[in-house]
Amino acid sequence: MADIKLFEIKEKIEEKIASTVFLEKELQNLIEENMETFFGVRFLKSEYIITNGRMDSIGIDENNSPVIFEYKRSSSENVINQGLFYLDWLLDHKSDFKLLVIEKFGMEASNKIDWSVPCVICIANDFTKYDLHAVNQMQRNIKLVRYKKYGENLLLFEHLNAPVVKTIDDKKIENVKQSSNGTKTHLEKLLSVPKNILNIYESVCGYIESLGDDIVANQLKLYLAYKKVKNIACIEIYNSYVLMYLKLNPDTVELEEGFTRDARNIGHYGTGDLSIKLRNMDDLEKAKPIIQRAYIEG
C-alpha cells in the first residue's frame, strides 16, 4: 500500500520519518485512554476474557453500537479472523455486553444498545493488500486502521477502508418487525412514507454519499447515520418531512425558522446539534452547503 509522506514546513522543508517504535501495550493504553477522541468510542474494558480468547479493548460508539478493538502484534497474526470470531461471539452473548455497559454507564445506557452494526477496528503498523481484499469480501463492519508514529509527539491513524456492510434488501425489509415498544423502526417508516418524502430521503442520502468515499452508512434501528471516523449526519424520516441532525455548532449557522434549529437541548435519536427539516427538494438544495460543511469539518 502507498505510504503517507509527512513534511514539516518551517525555515526549511523537512520530511518526518515514520517509525513503529511503539510498544504494543503502550499503543493500546494510549488508545484506551483517548478512545473517544480518536474514534468516537466510549471505553468499556481492556483485555476482556471470553470463551477461547481475550478481546484487547471493547467499547460502545456514539450510536450505542458495540465496538471491538484488536491490535496486530506481529506480521503473522491474523487479526481480522480473530476480530470476526470475537464479533460473532459478542452477537451470541449480548447479555454479557449489556452487563459491561450497566457497570460502566448505567441501566439507561444499556437500554439504548443498538446491535444493528457492531464493529471491529483492527489496528496495526501495516496491513497487506490481501487483508484489505479479505475485509472487502466479507461485507462485515470491520475497519482496518494503520498507525504511524512521527517523532515524539505525532501519531497518525490512517483509515484504510470504508466497510461495505450488507444493506437490507426489499424482501428483508418486508420481514422487519415493529419494535417491542410500538415505535416504528426506520426501515418500517421507509415502507410507509409518501413517495415525495421517500424521494427527498433518497436524494439527501445520495448527496451525502457523493461527498467522498470515506463516508460509511450505518443503518441503525431508529435512524440512518453517516460517518467518517465519527458521525457527520443522522437522518430520520416522517410522513411529511425528512429530519437531519448534523455535527455542527448551531451558533455558526444562521438559523431559519421551520428549516434549521438548535437541537442541543432537544431530545432526539442519533447525534448532532444542528437540526435541518427537509419538506421538499428546494429545502435540500438550500441544505447542501451546510451538509458539505459538516462533511469537511467532520
Give per-10-residue mean pLDDT for the chain (298 aa).
Answer: 77 80 81 96 95 92 95 76 92 95 95 93 90 86 91 88 60 43 82 95 96 90 93 96 96 95 90 96 97 94
Q: Is 254 left (phi over 0), alpha (psi -120 to 50) or beta?
A: beta
Quick one: 32 and 101 in the same domain? yes
Q: Are residues 195 and 61 in the same domain?
A: no
Domain boundary among 113, 129, 159: 159
Task: Tell whether 182 is covered by a domain.
Answer: yes
Q: Are 142 and 176 contained in the same domain?
A: no
**Given this model, what pLDDT does residue 174 score?**
43
Both 228 and 276 in one domain: the answer is: yes
Q: List the domain range (segments joined by +) for residue 216.
A: 170-297
Residue in this structure with the C-alpha cell 461527498, named with its chain if needed: 211
183 and 78 in one domain? no
Under 8 Å between Cβ of 266 and 259: no
Would strands 66-71 and 119-124 be described as parallel, antiparallel, or unpaired?
parallel
Say if residues 141 and 120 touch (Cβ distance below 8 Å). yes
> Is there a single domain that holds both residue 14 and residue 94?
yes
Residues 6+ apart with CB under 8 A from 203: 281, 284
* Within-domain flag for 135: yes
CATH number (domain holding residue 247):
3.90.1150
Partner residues linked to 79 by β-bridges: none
Residue 180, pLDDT score = 44
Counting the structural domains of the chain, the total is 2
Contacts for 28 with CB less than 8 Å, ≥ 6 apart: 46, 56, 57, 69, 71
Give domain status of residue 263, yes or no.
yes
What pLDDT, on the 0 to 100 scale, is given for residue 178?
A: 44
pLDDT in tens, 234-287: 999 999 999 999 999 999 999 999 999 999 988 888 899 999 999 999 999 999
pLDDT in tens, 5-35: 888 888 888 888 887 656 678 889 999 999 9
Looking at the domain assignment, is residue 1 inside a domain? no
